[in-house]
Structure 1
Amino acid sequence: MDASVPIDLDTWPRRQHFEHYRRLVPCTYSMTVELDVTAFTAALRRSQRKSYIAQVWALSTVVNRHDEFKMCLTAAGEPAVWPVVHPAFTVFNPERETFACVWAPHDSDFGAFHDVAAPLLAEHSRATDFFPQGELPTNAFDVSSLPWASFTGFNLNIGDGWDHLAPIFTLGRYTERDGRILLPLAVQVHHAAADGFHSTRLVNELQALVADPTWLEGSPKA
């Protein structure tokens, strides 16, 4: 695993914002959006690729474009950035009605990522351990899926989680409205790491990625 790179506080534009939301007014925020995945789901129907893995890859691709979503803390409590972060995502065990958390290394090539992630989901679909691969990498971020409900709001309440700077994503069930297929997505963010501008940019880039899903079969747009 690559070491994190400390942020140069003398030149960092968000230094005051980080200090404010990390120490004076520590807080997280969440936003829930509906992504138009009409083209995305149509492409998946023509593909042998799994929808969930494609969703996770798209999230990982956009997250890895932006330092504010790859942030962590040094041992001294100062902000730093991972060179790359990896998605950790849930897999449901219907017999036990529990889920496990697995992870796959980020790869800019969707096909290569799918080749690693698909066997993981199959292997651990009956997992009885919460973390069947062992401890997650420190540079991981979380993705959960709630395919049973199409929600319009979702909020996590993280007790004493002020050191957790990585974003958390929750995906919902597809719904159809006015001939379009929509996917609910909740984004949970530490305000010390990112402002509303950054979260909105991430969502807009994700929308653009699923609106032109040529990467499902060909070369990805990293």
Structure 2
Amino acid sequence: MQPTTIPVDLNSWSRRDYFYYFTKMMPTGFNVNVDVDITATYDAVRAADYHFFPAYLYLVTKVIQGQPEFMMVMQDGRLAQFTELTPSYSLFHDDDHSISGMWTDYNSDFQVFYQNYLDDVTAYQHQQGAVGKPNQPENAYMINMMPWLHFNSYTPLVFNGLPNFLPTVEAGKYEIKNGRRIMPVSFTIHHAVADGYHVSRFFDRLQTAFDHPQKWLNLPVCR
């Protein structure tokens, strides 16, 4: 299905001047790394016999989609806003420690999304190579996790110079601090579409979502 977009009228858009400045005069992006308390959600999904990783994919995507500044794209030289995003992530192969690119259709119903994820992993878990699941849609944004490393900073570097206005999200290995599970989360965004305030708001909303899994996690489920 072709992703749908809403045209952005640059003449009336409140970020018009900032968009020009940070794309033409001083092309800039920025990265923020924040420790997030995942205790409530981690305990809830594990008690229900879910995997945490797809819950993380779902929750971050759900929160991002509440902020239109993180859903911008250039189409035929015009700025537009996606109505929905698709998480694009890496599938790790235990046999040779390689990764393959994957994506899973988002659904606002967690159980539907979770089953979509399980179906994709089952279908492509033995597909080695850089691309696991083909035909990644245009509205896919990068989100991953390094469960082996608790980092203080993670900054993805793009070398082709092409503008990308969708965020890049990376989580690291959680650590136990004062009985809480603390996971580092890195968020990278183009300055043309968002400022520090918008990213701060994202992390506030993400922490609230992790703190209250009962608001989005429908239990029980039979797998």
Normalising to structure 1: TM-score of the pair? 0.93
Residue by residue, what CA displacement relative to the aligned partner does 1:52-98 show, whole Å, maximum 9, x if unpaired?
0000000110111111111000212x321011111111110122221
SS in 2 for 1:122: helix
Q: CA deviation at 1:6?
A: 1.8
In the other structure, the counterpart of 2:136 is 136
Structure 2: distance between partners of 1:24 and 1:174: 39
Q: CA deviation at 1:3?
A: 3.4
Normalising to structure 2: TM-score of the pair? 0.93
- Counting matched residue pairs gives 218
Structure 1: distance between partners of 2:92 and 2:132: 13
After the TM superposition, which residues 47-196 of structure 1 pair with which residues of structure 2 at under 5 Å, given as runs? 47-76=48-77, 78-196=78-196
Structure 2: distance between partners of 1:4 and 1:23: 24
Q: CA deviation at 1:122?
A: 3.3
Structure 2: distance between partners of 1:157 and 1:104: 24
Structure 2: distance between partners of 1:99 and 1:2: 26
In the other structure, the counterpart of 2:12 is 11
Contact 1:49 1:216 survives alignment (8 Å): no
> For the structure 1 residues 2 and 114, does the alpha-carbon distance in structure 2 shift closer, same or farther, using more than 3 Å as the test?
same
Contact 2:174 2:182 survives alignment (8 Å): yes
Structure 1: distance between partners of 2:55 and 2:151: 20
Q: CA deviation at 1:100?
A: 0.9
Residue by residue, what CA displacement relative to the aligned partner does 1:106-155 show, whole Å, maximum 9, x if unpaired?
11110110011022223333321322221310111011110001111101
Which AA in structure 1 matches 2:10? Answer: L
Contact 1:93 1:127 survives alignment (8 Å): no
Structure 1: distance between partners of 2:85 and 2:125: 24
SS in 1 for 2:135: coil
Q: CA deviation at 1:218?
A: 4.4
Contact 1:142 1:167 survives alignment (8 Å): yes
Question: What 5-or-longer segments of structure 2 have no aligned partner?
Answer: none
In the other structure, the counterpart of 2:22 is 21
Which AA in structure 1 matches 2:28? Answer: C
Contact 1:100 1:124 survives alignment (8 Å): no
RMSD of the alignment, in Å?
1.5
Contact 1:92 1:98 survives alignment (8 Å): yes
Contact 1:26 1:162 survives alignment (8 Å): no
Among all aligned residue pairs of Structure 1 and Structure 2, give the percentage whose two residues are the same amino acid: 24
Residue by residue, what CA displacement relative to the aligned partner does 1:5-44 show, whole Å, maximum 9, x if unpaired?
2211122111111111111110111111111111111112
Deviating more after overlay: 22-31 vs 41-50: 41-50
Structure 2: distance between partners of 1:18 and 1:205: 25
Question: What 5-or-longer segments of structure 1 have no aligned partner?
Answer: none
Which AA in structure 2 matches 1:20? Answer: Y
> For the structure 1 residues 3 and 212, does the alpha-carbon distance in structure 2 shift closer, same or farther, using more than 3 Å as the test?
closer
Structure 2: distance between partners of 1:41 and 1:107: 20
